[in-house]
Structure 1
Amino acid sequence: MAESFVFDVADSLLGKLASYAYEEASRAYGVYEDLQEFKDTLSIVRGLLLDAEEKKNQQHAVRDWLRQIQSICSDAEDVLDGFELQDKRKQVVEASGSTSMKVRHFFSSSNPLAFRFKMAQQIKDIRERLDKVASNGTKFGLTTINVSPGLVVQRREMTYPDVDASSIIGRESDREEIIKLLMQPHPQGDGVGDKSMCVIPIVGIGGLGKTTLAKLVFNDKRVDFHLKMWVCVSNAFDIKQIIINIINSISASAPTLTFSHQENINNLDMVQLVSRLRSKLSGQKFLLVLDDMWMDDRAKWIELKDLIKVGAPGSKVMVTTRSNSIASLMGTIPSYVLHGLSMDNSLALFVKSAFKEGEEEKFPNLVEIAKEIVKKCLGVPLAVKTLGSSLYSKFDLTKWEFVRDSEIWNLEQKQDDILPALKLSYDQMPSYLRHCFAYFSLYPKGYSFGVNSMLKIWIALGLVESRNGSENLENIAREYIDEFHSRSFLLDYTDQGQLFSFKLHDLVHDLALYVAKYECVLVQSHTRNIPNQVRHVSIVEKDSLDHALILKSKQVRTILFPIRGMGLDSASLLETWVSRYKFLRILDLSDSSIDIIPDSIAKLEHLRTLDLSNNSKIKRLPNSICRLQNLQVLLLSGCMELKTLPKGLGNLVSLRKLSITTKQYVLSQNEFASFNYLQTLDFYCCENLKILFDGAHQLTFLETLIVQSCGSLESLPLYCFPKLQTLYLRDCKMLDMSLNNENPIQKLKMKHLYLTEFPRLLTLPRWIVGAADTLETLLIDDIPNLKMLPECLTTMTHLKMLGIRLCTQLLTLPIDIHSLTALEELLIYGCHELGIKCQPQIGEYWSMIAHIKHISIDNHFEGFHYLQDKVYNMMRLEWKRNMLLEGRQEMNCLMQMEKKNVNMKL
């Protein structure tokens, strides 16, 4: 198997070295020649990496060579990071206008002369290390494998249509459903004879049995077509080769036709091939199976479809793919999403793979262990067969327990086992996705990922780059999440625009562990032998903190505490980390119970994310934090004892996200005026804060503003945020909701608005009119005295989601709500009278809202816990909002709700 993680690290580094910014910086600091020599050598090494990965299992020395290359590339990234930091320091010094600061800068190690000398020496050392290691590569007989940038592909073996139906377990109902689709007229046809060709996509994760199901259907005698053709498209989508394969498939499957033998057509040109194809398909009712489709180029698909649309009415195409987007692109009917086997079928398949027929009856103790083993397979047949076959005719109890207790990636894998099958999906991804994928391994199995779980890691590690220099990095990273979902890697995926959540398939998690096993470590109490070269550490059990001290590598970039409620409680351990791991990009100390952050934290000059949220003991922060010019994310939300923000906050010129809990009464506008890139600003439980700023400077990049539980806040200057897209307001008792109630009403660019817990509010604020042309999400929650929705609601032509909860006095909807043609989701909870009027079929409003795709109405709350379950499981928006705060306050919200006396007229 081609393991491409090292390749992707090298590829990413080469991309940075080739950029205009790095070229200019290297010339400015006199290290251009050294960097060019390093880049030239790395380009040569890149060509050897894939061959080295293929040979690493045969030669231990090759594995060591790969690790050395990866280490050098990562160290080079650390060195190059210095260019960006130096530029930011220069910005801060010049912007300050302070003579004393300029003098300090001149006599520091950051002055241009000292920096130039230091960089030249570091780059020279890196280049010499790479030259030495690269020369060793020739000793292993490695050859150069040329591959296009961003693509490393290991192809699956070509498939064929033959199958022994008696050996297949648990796919009977799936077969029947697909046959129904094949036999019925095209749903988009005219009811007499379909004029267009029906394309049926079967989609699911690798190893789920899509090809096997297609084979079962293809060979079923009830599937009656004049021609049946099977073409595996797992190699590159070459239309000429596909046409050749279709013609050959026709010749092989239709001996009764006039084609007496399989023709030698490989030498025909494209015009001749197209003519031959159309003559063979013309007027024939055919079934074409395109197995293992990876191509997502719509133009190529349309080109092929137009060539084969010469068959008789009723012709069908069946496509198997792992990608939802490809299924959507090709399918003319909704995709048939293949699910896992039931536990009973999984166990039957496992027993069939592990025992000779009837042999399992002699080993009931092993069958009991088998039941536990198949649970980890989540119904994926190939995983079941992989683990079952690995135990075939082995009756040693310890071997069965080893398989039960091991991660799949720790087990020996043959070419046709589950890990290689999933690895194929990984290899097919573009380089930027492969590089990001490894970091899923930093979270435990079953983890529920929120908005920022992965985005903050990818961005902090420099894995997300703006394509034009101005794009929002979070938006780009969000596109990555969508791509992973499209490739069937994610489970329980819920999407509410900016807010989303998902889980990772357990087998996909195993693959992430495999890909990043020397780079990322999930530290638990039983974790031992942490690799020396580890750079990313995630601590998931308190008992494991002692083991985190034994990390030998000083190149650690990430320290995470991903489990809610578990953080660091040792100030001395923090000091050790700060002094030892100077290349940290991410330091997650959320939910910790330390009262002092050391001044030495300023030495973490590469730090991008510092998460101190939900620390109940911190009263002050060292001003030295403000010397972290690379810092992009600073999270102080939930630090209930924090008296003031550190002085010099405005020096954090890279800051993109800031969350605040403070006892301050007012914030200095001068500090915030320097935040030219701030995109997300969050205020939580700032009880003394009356006004946000003492000035009128605009935050021109701010897109998300969150203000909750700020009981003294009186006003909110929306005019300071001209590009605001998301506004979340909750439980601010003194807030004047008229905000900027001037005439004419200010035009807003807002897309998502959440208003919750405003018991005194009688009507929604007039300024909402200013967002009527752009609003996509509107959540109105716990506003019990609200009696009417705003008139402008029905002019919101972009509104996709409307949520109303606990607005007990709201009795009506606008009579022209049917004009909201973009509305896709309507949720109404705890609004008894309104809920009755919206009941399906019988409610008086039903005819006005029946066009909406997803409608959820619930009035029958029987006590608090039922309400809590409904709110948590169905009305997800409020809780998903909390993911904007790293998901840390979700439990706090639930605890606060439990303390309330919920009285509702039902």
Structure 2
Amino acid sequence: MAEAIVSTLLEQITTITCEGALEEMRLLKGVKKDLRKLKFNLTSIKALLKDAEQKQISDETVQLWLDRLQEESLDMEDALDEWRTVLLYRPTDGAENASFLQRKVCLFLRYFSFRRIYRYHGIARNIKEINERLDGIAKDRVRDEVKKEIIGHLLCGTSEEGESCQTISIVGLGGIGKTALAQLIYNDEEVKQHFTTRIWTYVSNIFYESEVAKTIIAELEGLDEVRALQMESVPLNALLKRICKSIEGKKYLLVLDDVWTENDEDFGGLNVTFKHGAAGSRILVTTRKDTVSRVMGSSHTIHLETLNQDLCWSILKKIALRERDQKTCEDLTPVGLRIAEKCKGLPLVAKTLGGHLQFKANRKEWEDVFNSELWRMDVIHKDVFVPLLLSYYDLPSPVKQCFKYCASLSKDTGNFTCSLIARWKAQGYLGFNDGDDSLWELKGFEYLKCLEARSFFEIEDFDPFYGQYAKCRMHDLVHDFALFLTKGEFLEEVISKEKLRGLYISAYKGGVISDGALCNLFNKARRLRELKMRKYLGSTIPEEIGKLLHLRYLNFQSNLHLKRLPKALCRLHNLQFLHLFQCLNLERLPDEMGNLVNLMVLDTTACSNLTCYPKGVSRLTRLTQLVGLIVRVDRNDPEEFSIGDLANLRQLVVLSMKIMGNTINVEESKKVKLQNLQEVKILVNGAIAADKDTILESLNMSSVPRCCFDTNFNMFGRFSTPRNEYQYCGF
């Protein structure tokens, strides 16, 4: 990760020296020389890092050195960010700025006086896209027998004990295929026909009975995101009654995936509720622990055994030998069989090693994998983590950084790829070039595909229009590995630390967060680049938010009390993403919105009390996605955003808007020429009587490839923010 940070620093220094700002500020002569020296030092350090990162697991000295380098690199990155912001957005007295910048340069040079420690050996490898993915291990012959056994228990009629519902548990090691097997059973045609209702719920190691209940209700009632979020304040008893009503008299199958809790009281209310279904209902549990099976009162427990060497080799070779000729396959098979032994019978490990070996060209490189020093290291969960480490170290440096960031994601929850890539962008992982508004998302998708090729991600929900994937999912064991790499640093409660770079809060014991607590946070956490505060804000936000100079990603989703945003928010010149999804009582946006010159995504979807956009939004020329726009089409209003103002937003790719006015001003709409616009969603004011084609032609948008009209302005699925993301996460 340190290597990627150093690369970003070099990019920032190059950008600063190319901007000509140093001459404009009339700085002291020594500054440019110091910057050149700093750049040389960073380039030298970068050459040491690949080997050092691999040695840190077995060499404590190297680990301490890397920890120190990473910490000071982050300090320097924040300082450079502040420097650049002062240069670009604070044109105050030149002498004052010169003094400030000179102090910063001296500080930077002190940070990087390290001597060379290790030679550079690693070679970056080109990543090729994999179109064909391995079928789940549960489809092989052995798993088919287990599948038939479990389905037999599910379909056997009423419980022998006379109860309306039986519980069946699948127990096995992480990565052995419990979830894959449960999915095959859940989607089996015979199972579908047998049960009136099927519900899939992911539980995870952090158990909240109310959250499980909400997920069950959303599945039972087929709720969309907006309606599901409306359950946030519903008490547990009311949720349980709602489940009872939905399942009463129905024969249901409920899958509780990845259960960890061993406290039988955790499921107290739910267990009573589950008994309201019809006779023959079943609960299928997947877990790593035998004790969970006992606590759940399972009538049958199936233990998944590890695979033999031949099956591991079968999985591994499908990936590793893909598109190789017969002679090469025969040459690689002997060493491949020996590597398959190291899978320890776990299909996920076999799949990961296969993804790693597909980029190794010949037998010598395969032998190097088999003889790697990593196999002899004493690491946590060695049988699983060593193969993952082999793949991790083979990743390009920026992709490693993106993967480690994913330790902050919640386990086994599908993440919208656009949201994840936006957060990578906010942290600077997709490069520093802020003028590159069109390519950062493509680069993010390439990184995701690279991680998918190594089995670190499963990517799903392909969107043929965009040629990209809408959602991605990380196996819980891979998530454990990401936490291992970060030493748990993403999950520390570090609100009091001044070096906090990201904070997500979606559960707060004290109800609404007080202004005093927010002021304390904003004053201390000056280095925040991401901030998401869901549900617990009051009607206003303190002006101190303007002190978060480095903030790139701000998400105030589902804050139902929030009425206004402070003017100080518009001093966040580095802000790139602003999400205000479902702030139902938000009344207006600040008139100074035009100062957010780097904003690329603005989302006010489902802000039902918002009646207009300020004129200043027309100055946000870097916007690529504008979702929830309210626009006047009948005139060029001096204060409200009007249809002609869209002419300034030339980089827009996606637009969702509500049009206001009784008629469409043709002269104003002629100004609109959005050549890049690919998708538009329009909510038509009832007073405008015209067909869709006429409206599109009048608004000068008839050539947009994808258009739709909707009377329900609550949702815009591709850019809505995922539910159930975090309870608390700071990093």
Partner of 2:402: 436
Aligned counterpart, 1:289: 329
Whether the 8 Å contact between 1:683 and 1:707 is mirrored in structure 2 is yes
The 5-angstrom pairing of residues 375-394 of structure 1 reads: none
Q: Which AA in structure 2 matches 1:413?
A: V
1:507 aligns with 477
Taking a change above 3 Å as real, the CA distance of residues 667 and 210 of structure 1, as seen in their structure-2 partners, is farther
Post-superposition offset of 1:603: 1.1
Aligned in 2, Cα 1:51/1:174: closer, same or farther, shift over 3 Å? same
Q: Say whether 1:584 aligns with 2:507.
A: no
- Residue 594 of structure 1, CA deviation: 2.2
The Cα of 1:421 is off from its aligned counterpart by 0.7
Instruction: Give the alignment of 1:474-623 within 5 angstroms.
Output: 474-491=441-458, 493-496=460-463, 497-498=465-466, 500-517=470-487, 520-522=489-491, 530=492, 547-549=493-495, 551-552=496-497, 554-561=498-505, 569-623=513-567
Q: CA deviation at 1:503?
A: 1.2
Equivalent residue for 2:99? 117
CA drift at 1:481: 2.6
Shift of the 883–681 alpha-carbon distance from structure 1 to 2, 3 Å rule, reads same
> Is the Cα contact below 8 Å between 2:452 and 2:459 reproduced in 1?
no
Give the secondary-structure state (helix, strand or coil) at the position aligned to 2:82.
helix
Check conservation: 1:681, 1:702, Cα contact below 8 A: yes
Q: Which of 750, 755, 758 is equivalent to 2:704?
A: 750
Matched, 1:882 2:691: no
Superposed displacement of residue 475, structure 1: 3.4
Task: Check conservation: 2:315, 2:347, Cα contact below 8 A.
Answer: no
CA contact (8 A) 1:17 1:23 kept: no
Q: Could you tell which deviates more after superposition, 671-680 or 742-751?
A: 742-751
Q: Hey, what's the Cα distance between the residues in 2 that align with 1:718 and 1:689?
A: 11
Task: Tell me the CA shift for residue 575 of structure 1.
Answer: 1.4
Name 1:659's counterpart in structure 2. 603
Please give the alpha-carbon distance, in whole angstroms, between the structure 1 residues aligned to 2:652 and 2:13. 31
Distance in 1 (CA, whole Å) between partners of 2:524 and 2:540 is 18
Q: 1:290 to 1:470 in 2, by over 3 A?
A: farther
SS at match of 1:707: strand
Is 1:450–2:416 an aligned residue pair? yes
Would you say the 8 A contact 1:38–1:127 is kept in 2?
A: yes
Residue 37 of structure 1 aligns to which amino acid in structure 2?
K
Per-residue CA shift, 1:391-428, capped at 9, x if unaligned?
A: xxxxxxxxxxxxxxxxxxxx953897221211222222
* Alpha-carbon distance, 1:460 to partner: 0.9
Aligned-pair CA distance for 1:289: 1.0
Tell me the CA shift for residue 571 of structure 1: 3.1
Question: 2-side partners of 1:217 and 1:593: how far apart?
Answer: 49
**For residues 449 and 727 of structure 1, what CA distance do their matches in structure 2 show?**
23
Q: Pick from 720, 731, 752: which aligns with 2:672?
A: 720
Output the CA distance in 2 between the equivalents of 1:512 and 1:218. Answer: 22
Give the Cα–Cα distance (whole angstroms) in 2 for the partners of residues 651 and 291 of structure 1.
63
Residue aligning to 1:461? 427
Q: Distance in 2 between matches of 1:480 and 1:565?
A: 37
CA contact (8 A) 1:726 1:752 kept: yes
CA distance in 1, matches of 2:316, 2:643: 72
Task: Tell whether the 8 Å contact from 1:668 to 1:694 is kept in structure 2 after alignment.
Answer: no
Matching residue of 1:67: 67
Structure 2 CA distance, aligned partners of 1:378 and 1:52? 30
Counterparts of 1:636-785 in structure 2, within 5 Å, are: 636-660=580-604, 661=607, 663=609, 665-669=611-615, 671-683=616-628, 693-694=641-642, 696-697=644-645, 698=647, 699-707=649-657, 720=672, 722=674, 723-729=676-682, 733-734=686-687, 736-738=690-692, 741=695, 746=700, 748=702, 750-757=704-711
The CA deviation at 1:121 is 0.8
Q: Which consecutive unaligned segments of at least 5 residues does structure 1 have? A: 91-104, 154-167, 176-203, 220-229, 247-285, 293-316, 322-339, 341-348, 354-376, 385-410, 523-529, 531-546, 759-780, 782-877, 891-906
Say which structure, 1 or 2, has more relative contact order (CA 8 Å, 6+ apart): 2
Query: Equivalents in 2 of 1:694, 1:75: separation in Å?
Result: 43
Distance 2:702 2:510 in 1: 40
Q: CA deviation at 1:665?
A: 4.2
- Contact 1:438-1:516 at 8 Å conserved across structures: yes
SS state at 1:683 partner: strand
Shift of 1:213: 4.6
Report the CA distance shift for 1:718/1:756 in structure 2 as closer, same or farther (over 3 A). farther
Question: How has the CA–CA distance of structure 1 residues 62 and 744 changed in structure 2, closer, same or farther, with 3 Å as cutoff?
Answer: closer
| Cα distance in structure 1, aligned partners of 2:421 and 2:441 | 7
Counterpart AA for 1:35: L
Question: Match of 2:720, as an amino acid?
Answer: L
SS in structure 1 of the partner of residue 48 of structure 2: helix
**C-alpha displacement at 1:509, in angstroms?**
1.4
How far residue 46 of structure 1 moved from its aligned partner, in angstroms, is 2.6
Kindly provide the CA deviation profile for residues 188-234 of structure 1, in whole angstroms up to 9, marking residues without a partner as x.
xxxxxxxxxxxxxxxx9xxx989955856999xxxxxxxxxx99999
CA distance in 2, matches of 1:472, 1:721: 21
Q: How does 1:332-343 map to 2 (within 5 A)?
A: none
1:289 maps to a residue whose letter is C
Q: What one-letter code is carried by the residue in structure 2 that aligns with 1:128?
A: R
Paired position in structure 1 for 2:259: none
In 2, Cα distance between the equivalents of 1:679 and 1:169? 43
Residue 629 of structure 1 contacts residue 651 of structure 1 at CA under 8 Å; is this kept in 2? yes
Q: Does 1:143 align with 2:127?
A: no
Contact 1:443–1:562 (CA under 8 A) maintained in structure 2: no
Alignment of 1:88-99 (within 5 A): 88-89=88-89
Cα distance in structure 2, aligned partners of 1:567 and 1:26: 48
Q: Is the 1:288–1:318 contact (alpha carbons within 8 Å) kept by the matching residues of 2?
A: no
Question: Normalising to structure 1: TM-score of the pair?
Answer: 0.48
Residues 520-572 of structure 1, C-alpha deviations (whole Å, 9 max, x = no match): 422xxxxxxx4xxxxxxxxxxxxxxxx554x43x1211112368999973433
Equivalent runs, 1:224-239 vs 2, <5 Å: none
Residue 706 of structure 2 aligns to which amino acid in structure 1? H
Give the letter for the 1:143 counterpart.
Y
CA distance in 2, matches of 1:884, 1:574: 27
Kept after mapping to 1: 8 A contact 2:593/2:614 = no
Q: Tell me, in whole angstroms, the C-alpha distance in 1 between the residues paired with 2:424 and 2:109.
A: 27
- State the 1:751 CA deviation: 3.3
- Whichever of the two has the greater Rg, that structure is 1
Q: 2:52 maps to which residue?
A: 52
Amino acid at match of 1:454: L
Root-mean-square deviation (Å): 4.9
- 2:622 and 2:310 mapped to 1: Cα distance? 52
* Structure 2 SS opposite 1:493: strand
- Closer, same or farther in 2 for the Cα pair 1:127/1:151, shift >3 Å? farther
> Given that residues 672 and 699 in structure 2 are in contact (C-alpha distance below 8 angstroms), is that contact kept between their aligned partners in structure 1?
no
Structure 2 CA distance, aligned partners of 1:886 and 1:437? 20
Q: Distance in 1 between matches of 2:21 and 2:390?
A: 39
CA distance in 1, matches of 2:684, 2:507: 27
Gaps of 5+ in 2: 128-136, 145-176, 178-305, 354-376, 726-731
Q: Does 1:425 align with 2:391?
A: yes
Contact 1:51 1:145 in 2 (8 A): yes
CA separation in 2, counterparts of 1:601 and 1:169? Answer: 51
Q: In 2, distance between residues paired with 1:751 and 1:743? A: 13
- CA distance in structure 1 between the partners assigned to 2:654 and 2:644 by the alignment: 18
Matched, 1:13 2:9: yes
